[in-house]
Every structure is written in C-alpha cells, then in structure tokens.
Amino acid sequence: MTVQAGGARLALMTAHRNSPATAAVDHARTYLLNGQPVDAARTAPGLHIVATPIGNLGDITLRALETLAGVDLIACEDTRVTRKLLDRYGIATPLTPYHDHNAAKSRPLLLRRLAEGAAIALVSDAGTPLISDPGFKLVRAAHEAGHAVTPIPGASALLAALNVAGLPTDQFFFAGFLPPKQAARRFRIAELARVNATLVLYETGPRLAATLADLADGLGSREAAICRELTKLHEETRRGDLAALAQSYEGHEPRGEIVVVIASPGAPERPSSSETDALLRQALVRASLKDAVGEVMEATGLPRRELYQRALELAKERNRGAPR
C-alpha cells in the first residue's frame, strides 16, 4: 500500500509538473551540494527573479539553489532546459512554462498564485531573466499587484563578455539582437553609430558573418571582440577590428551562443608604456596614489590593477631619487 501511495503521489507530481495549478502538490525542499542533501527553508512569498548558469552548471549561486528549492513553483522558458539544472542539484520544485507564446494566458494564473501567498521563481533558459527574454510584463504586473519582487543575481552573458573583451566598460549600451533582415539591420546599425559607448550585441552563428560585415560598413574600423560559448568547453574570445572579424567568419558558421562587443567611436587607443608612465608621474605630483590611478584610468581606459602596480613602482623610484 505504501508503494502504491508513493506511486500515486509521483504520478500526481508528474501530471502537474508543468502547470501553474501545482499549489496542492508539495515537494521536498532540498538541494544537493557536493552530493549531500541540504534542507532549504520555504522561500518568502512573492516573485523571485533567479539567474541561472549561461553554460557551466557550476556557475549557480548558493542563494539561487536555496531559492529554487524553497519556492512553490518555477516559471521558466523551456521546462526541459531548466529540468536539467534542477536534476543536477536534486531539486524537485514543480515547473511551469512561461514564454512569449503563452505569457498572456499564463501570467494571470501566476499572479493568482502570488495573490494566494505562493513563492514563485522566474528563470530563463540561461543567465539573468529579462535580458533578451520574456519576463518584464510579469515583473511589472507583480509590482502593480503589490507583490514582493526579489532579484537573485548571478551569471549574465552580457557581463561575462564585457569582462573578457578588453574594451572600456565605464559606459556600455546593450542592443540585444539586431534585426535578421539586412535592410532593417543596417537601419538599426546607423542608429547605434551615434551611441558614444561600448556596444554589446547578441547574435546567432548563421547570421554572424553578415552582421559583422554590416557593422563594419556602418560603424567603420572599430575594435571589437567576439565572445562565443562563454563558460562552456569550447569558450572562445576573438578580437580585432570589425572588418577583419567579418572576413574571418566569412563562409564559416560558428556554433553556440555569441556576444559581440564593439568599441565606442571615441574609445581611446591604448597608450604606450612611456606615455602611461608620463601620465602617472604627472598625476602623482598633484594627487595621492589612489587618485592618480583613478585619473589615469579615466583618461586611458587601462585596467586599475595594472595602473596601480605601475604607479607603486614609479612612486618607489621617486622616493629613491631615481631619474625620471
């Protein structure tokens, strides 16, 4: 009888796994950490925006695991994709699809669950929700209904690409995906040409070469980086000017998720070592080491750590009376 009861319970959970009507179905609030089960407290009622890995499943945060195990329901783009993540960490929380094609129908059901006091997590297939995927209408509606909305930050392809592109990050503009058709794409590129900030785009492998060629025509000879399959086995970052990159991908269709990072029109060229030293020496005369480094970093776009190390060396030389 116990086995039958357990089987009936499993069948009930399976039947309701992909439906918002899972309020009556409880689940074990645990997750696996290094193979060991960890109890998770029930997450506070409200909508929780949970970032998930962009490739490497090890890039999940402890807070995300606690939240995903502790909520009553997880709304996701593709239940098959999110199920792989949950299975990796032994999480049994029910899933329900929430995407562009069913959002109008599913949103009222989710809001009703929130009104009943449920805790719901919203995730995307990869990375941070609402970045080039559905979700903002649900977040807005939750706010308007007076429900708590909580971010659970984590992985983001946008920020990961900025980390490794080697381009200024003090100002950047995220443009998402460009239009797939060339005429509309070129029109959008002409608009982006006026943006005085590092540009970040998402693109697909089949369209990458054509997009880079249009970018080179519309933006000129700008430095750029193609960041592909970040955090995955075949991770690659390829740098160069737009025209050279376009040529390198001509006739070659790369696989995987792709982020294109493009220098702003006013991005300064990297100064030589002697030019950097001269700027640091001038700044050290009138400012503290910390302020001098900040001043030169703002002027050149060079990394703070690199400038700080060189400024320390120059300060020591000056204290020893070394020739300048």
The predicted structure's pLDDT at residue 8: 34
Q: Which tokens is 29 given?
A: 């609030």
Q: Where are the alpha helices (DSSP H) in the chain?
A: 2-16, 62-70, 79-88, 103-115, 136-144, 157-165, 182-192, 205-219, 242-249, 273-286, 289-300, 304-320
Length of the chain: 324
Class in CATH terms, 158-262: alpha beta
**CA dihedral of 241, 247, 253, 254, whole degrees rounded to 10:** -30
* Per-residue b or e along 65-104, where b marks 16 or more CB atoms closer than 10 Å to that residue's CB: bbbbbbbbbbbbbebeebbebbeebbbebbbbbbbeeebe
Query: Which tens digit of pLDDT belongs to each residue from 230-255?
Result: 999 999 999 999 999 999 999 889 99
Q: What is the mean pLDDT of residues 203-222?
A: 96
- The Cα–Cα gap between 323 and 317 comes to 8
What end-to-end distance do the CA atoms of the chain give, in Å? 88
Q: What is the mean pLDDT of residues 276-292?
A: 89
- Locate the domains of the chain by residue range: 15-155, 158-262, 273-320
Nearest to 54 by CA among 155, 160, 204: 155
Nearest to 278 by CA among 296, 291, 290, 266: 296
The predicted structure's pLDDT at residue 15: 37
Strand order in the sheet with 119-122: 95-97, 73-76, 119-122, 46-50, 149-152
DSSP annotation string for 3-65: HHHHHHHHHHHHHHTTSTTGGG-----EEEETTEEEE-PPPPSEEEEE-B-SS-GGG--HHHH
Residue 245: CB atoms within 10 Å: 24
* Residue 249 near residue 72 (C-beta atoms within 8 A): no
Q: What is the mean pLDDT of residues 17-32?
A: 66
The predicted structure's pLDDT at residue 322: 52
Q: What is the mean pLDDT of residues 159-173?
A: 95
Please give the CATH number for the structural domain made up of 15-155: 3.40.1010.10
